[in-house]
Structure 1
């Protein structure tokens, strides 16, 4: 049984990752049930074949996302009852936030069933990056460590996340399964949007992404080169500030903002672009994170301009995925300018080949399924 506040078809990395895992578990002969939320504004939903998905209505923020303590609890409290009084599973797989991990550990202790914790992120580090109070940060760290320590196994998406898990919960040895992208969905072949943009930012924009920098850099590039256009597609706590910065620049007609779109449309925006942007604020205890929007762009063959700390910056540069620069407005603007003028441009076929070798969601799901079914 997979328990997660977010699942396909909601447009998020977690949705795609868990959907791929559900399919792989079913292919291995497991009966798979998912306890998740009811997505907004959808009358009909096409779930993975052979996977039973049970949805529950929850509180959402203004953007329609399940984010914030009350929305989390609106999922977690009913979740505990759904597990307690519903059909029992041999093993449960729990996706963050830590509140869900907390409830999963408590309920699994009552029903005497094991669970696996999917550490796709370190939420207490993310909370620190948002400037949360010491009290809130301490509570989130405690919940996260509690969830990690109680798990039969822990899946980690990167070596950096694995290292942080071991620090938060000494004695826990995570299985590093990698980050994955659905290469059937995010592929070079497929439609583009009707009016593509030269530069795109596709995905969430929260405090730790620091995407305000991307807006300022894009404004600088558009002032240098009047014929270019840009688009920001997604949502997040920084979104309104980013809109305001674009409006103040006087270049709003050339900078579009599009609210979160389904994953196939996100792929279409990336295919139509000449370059995409990913960013991460350094020095907030979150330097190990990898913005999955970077992988999605590479998978469709669009090079990335990344502004942020190592190790991601070096990964981009060393593998020729685009340009990796410091988290600096001028450096990012210069990198974008150079990439847009470069001749020959980055070889899209080589980017796609790299993605197929390193970030296949199917391969990640297979490694994850090995751990879940391994006992």
Structure 2
């Protein structure tokens, strides 16, 4: 074979992208869904994708629908989450070796936490290839909002996170608020706002569960996702206690995990509050079924903790199913819900939230389900956001299309 033919064949090879993430499908989480969507979009745009991730929690079955996962055991907490310093280290330390040993890597995509970003950044530098950081959150801001974190730890998290962003060929941000915050912290360093969304093929208005509320079963609200300090889901327990006085058959369902779940359960027990049910996380198709029959999906952000820019994915999960949202907080989520008639938003106050929940139960100001669905397809499709992200990852490659890995 001539040298020219060999070079031509090399350039014709599909680029090989590695995604390093502690969360991946079939594990049910917003991060896992984002990364699987990105893997699928990369494959559709001509790349081969390998995913360095963890073994799913015990009892979680199924296979990823995109990418070729390479799984490693990881330390999980009592709720099955990869959360906390020891859990992160149990993923990050082996990841360093895994990234060195992986063959034929042209580009790397890294998910938070910042420690994973640091490991990935070093590996990318050693292999002289570009890496992309997927900034779904600003972790150092979240650390600042948690009581009891020592000052040196807060400063270290900020330093690691911003250093990784500056070294990245691309920083993918999921909302205008996150994008603005990243820019405030590091200036312009290749960040691109690709948006965020939901799998609109799974979360749909049609399918099992759509008639559950109409068939005479008690009406219910759904909170699906993490409960922690910055989400502040306890406001819904306070509001629901008021709602039960006027609508005694109503239920409140939590499909949740996180640092605040135990405290929520204790609050409900102490008050003897009936109608509140705590359930484990379920697969997306089952979550969609539950949302279809709900009066509204619930979303909240605790004000004053620096997270007013966040747009929780649980909003889009509900609207994709044609179900409106009751949101408590202030900032970007309130603005998006009000501007696009996606449901009811209020201040982070139990009385105001209770008023929104009653309005939803009584159908006052309810948005049209077809409008909710169409808006989500046009503005919050995960596939569309992933396609933008994949294009940015591939655009970061050298002009010959390959790195040096």
TM-score, normalised with respect to structure 1: 0.96
1:333 has 2:349 as partner: no
Question: Which of 315, 335, 345 matches 1:314?
Answer: 335
Separation (CA, whole Å) in 2 of partners of 1:65 and 1:208 = 17
- Contact 1:199–1:231, Cα closer than 8 Å, also in 2: yes
Kindly report the root-mean-square deviation, in angstroms, between the aligned alpha carbons of the 2 structures: 1.6
The equivalent of 2:259 in structure 1 is 237
Question: Any residues of structure 2 matched to 1:106-255 within 5 Å, and which?
Answer: 106-131=122-147, 132-192=149-209, 197-252=219-274, 254-255=275-276
Separation (CA, whole Å) in 1 of partners of 2:25 and 2:218 = 25
> How far is 1:216 from its partner?
1.0
The equivalent of 2:99 in structure 1 is 83
> How far is 1:47 from its partner?
2.2
- Contact 1:196–1:272, Cα closer than 8 Å, also in 2: no
- Contact 1:210–1:280, Cα closer than 8 Å, also in 2: yes
- Contact 1:160–1:289, Cα closer than 8 Å, also in 2: yes
Question: Which of 256, 259, 264 matches 2:277?
Answer: 256
- Contact 2:326–2:344, Cα closer than 8 Å, also in 1: yes
- Contact 1:219–1:246, Cα closer than 8 Å, also in 2: no
> How far is 1:338 from its partner?
1.3
Question: Which of 80, 91, 108 matches 1:64?
Answer: 80
Separation (CA, whole Å) in 2 of partners of 1:197 and 1:113 = 53
2:74 is paired with a residue whose SS is: coil
Per-residue deviation, residues 154-209 of structure 1 (Å, max 9, x unmatched)? 10001111111112223314110001110011111122298775111111111100
Separation (CA, whole Å) in 1 of partners of 2:125 and 2:184 = 24
Question: Relative to structure 1, is the Cα distance of residues 48 and 342 closer, same or farther in structure 2, using a 3 angstrom cutoff?
Answer: closer
Separation (CA, whole Å) in 1 of partners of 2:35 and 2:325 = 25
The equivalent of 2:287 in structure 1 is 266
The equivalent of 1:276 in structure 2 is 297
Per-residue deviation, residues 134-160 of structure 1 (Å, max 9, x unmatched)? 221111101101110110111000111
Q: Which structure 2 residue ranges, 5 or more long, are not aligned?
A: 1-17, 397-405
1:18 is paired with a residue whose SS is: helix
Question: Which of 290, 298, 305 matches 2:311?
Answer: 290
Q: Which structure 1 residue ranges, 5 or more long, are not aligned?
A: none
The equivalent of 2:39 in structure 1 is 22
Determine which structure has greater relative contact order: mean sequence separation of CA pairs < 8 Å that are 6+ residues apart, divided by chain length: 2
Per-residue deviation, residues 235-278 of structure 1 (Å, max 9, x unmatched)? 111101111122223223x1111022222222122112111210
TM-score, normalised with respect to structure 2: 0.89
> How far is 1:44 from its partner?
5.3
- Contact 1:145–1:168, Cα closer than 8 Å, also in 2: yes
- Contact 2:219–2:294, Cα closer than 8 Å, also in 1: yes
Question: Relative to structure 1, is the Cα distance of residues 318 and 170 closer, same or farther in structure 2, using a 3 angstrom cutoff?
Answer: closer
Structure 1 or 2, whichever has the larger Rg, is 2
2:104 is paired with a residue whose SS is: coil
1:299 has 2:299 as partner: no
Separation (CA, whole Å) in 2 of partners of 1:82 and 1:272 = 44
The equivalent of 2:15 in structure 1 is none
